[in-house]
Structure 1
Amino acid sequence: MMMASRFTASIGSVLLLVAGLAQASHPKLPPDLARAAADYDQAQIHSNRAGLEKALADDWILANTAGKTQTKQQFIAESVAPGSSVEPFTVQDETIRVWGDGATLAGLVDYKGKSEGKPFQARIRFVDVWRKKDGRWQVVYTQAARVP
């Protein structure tokens, strides 16, 4: 796969990770959502395919910074590929909304990492939409936009 595609996937991966890292201990989150976000973080940090499968709904879609969409399968394949990594980062300007069986976790991040072993750096505004179904929280949609 081309470098641009891998970089875009890395951005999506980071965005999802960011949402979980920032929200995992946030007092506005229900404990089970905070736990799901933290578990998702760990799955991404450790390139854990099973953890990613659990965290993302089967119908999950990423609207990435290139204006394209990725499926769960495409995203996971790229997220666990050799040479892909993300360094720790902090969410700024975070927005949290929780209602019944849904939530949005959003913010702004500056981050860096590697895609196919090559370094990248970007500033991204993201939103993750979470759904609780059958007693389990999963990410159902992510949108990411580059910020100059």
Structure 2
Amino acid sequence: MKLIVSFILLFMNVPGTPQQEVEQATEQLRVLMITPNQKGLENITHEELSYGHSGGKVESRKEFIETLVSGRSDFRKITLKDQKITVAGTTAVVRHTLEADTFDGGVAGSIRLHIVLVWVKEKAGWKLLARQAVKLP
């Protein structure tokens, strides 16, 4: 029995494929956008982050994190659909549809966007380098 448990624990600690790692990073970002914290967002984003909104505004890493942590951008629920991940070496591109319930400025709303994320692999893991959103009809 101990051998079986040891084997299972060993198997659970095996790192995933790069695609699985990027999928996990994308999920971590989704969760951090709903329940933001400064350290978590700093850990998952690249210092040179370019974060593009569907309305044309582009934020730096500092601006992106401050907007979430301050509550100016307040996501209540985020659902990702039709996700596709392409990994090329130390770069990954993620495309998906984002549907979200928001509460920006005390006003409830909902959004539906096409998103493209660009991730880069560093020693500390996958970091979000760029994001761009496009409104869906």
**Common fold: TM-score over 0.5:** yes
Residue identity opposite 2:94 in structure 1: L
* Between structures 1 and 2, the one with greater strand share: 2
Distance 1:39 1:111, change over 3 A: closer
Residue identity opposite 2:54 in structure 1: T
Residue identity opposite 2:32 in structure 1: A
Distance 1:39 1:139, change over 3 A: same
Residue identity opposite 1:106 in structure 2: R
Give the percent of matched residue pairs that are identical in Structure 1 and Structure 2.
23
Residue of 71, 76, 81 corresponding to 1:87:
76
* Aligned-partner Cα distance in 1 for 2:84–2:37: 27
Q: What is the TM-score with the length of structure 2 in the denominator? A: 0.76
Give, in angstroms, the shift of residue 135 of structure 1.
Answer: 4.5
Q: How many residues are matched?
A: 122
- What's the CA shift string for 1:5-53, capped at 9, x where partnerless? xxxxxxxxxxxxxxxxxxxxxx975444344334333333321110001
Distance 1:37 1:125, change over 3 A: closer
**Secondary structure class of the residue paired with 2:70:** coil
Which residue in the other structure is 2:96 paired with? 107
* Aligned-partner Cα distance in 2 for 1:95–1:30: 10
Which residue in the other structure is 2:8 paired with? none
**Between 88-97 and 106-115, the greater mean CA deviation after superposition:** 88-97
Residue of 126, 131, 134 corresponding to 2:115:
126
**Between 130-139 and 87-96, the greater mean CA deviation after superposition:** 87-96
Give, in angstroms, the shift of residue 83 of structure 1.
Answer: 6.2
* Aligned-partner Cα distance in 2 for 1:28–1:92: 21
* Aligned-partner Cα distance in 2 for 1:89–1:45: 7
**Between 96-105 and 39-48, the greater mean CA deviation after superposition:** 39-48
Distance 1:95 1:63, change over 3 A: same
**Secondary structure class of the residue paired with 1:87:** strand
- What's the CA shift string for 1:89-136, capped at 9, x where partnerless? 432232211121111111112221111221121210001100002242
Contact 2:91 2:121 in 1 (8 A): yes
Contact 1:85 1:114 in 2 (8 A): yes
Look at both structures and tell me which one has the larger radius of gyration over its CA atoms. Answer: 2
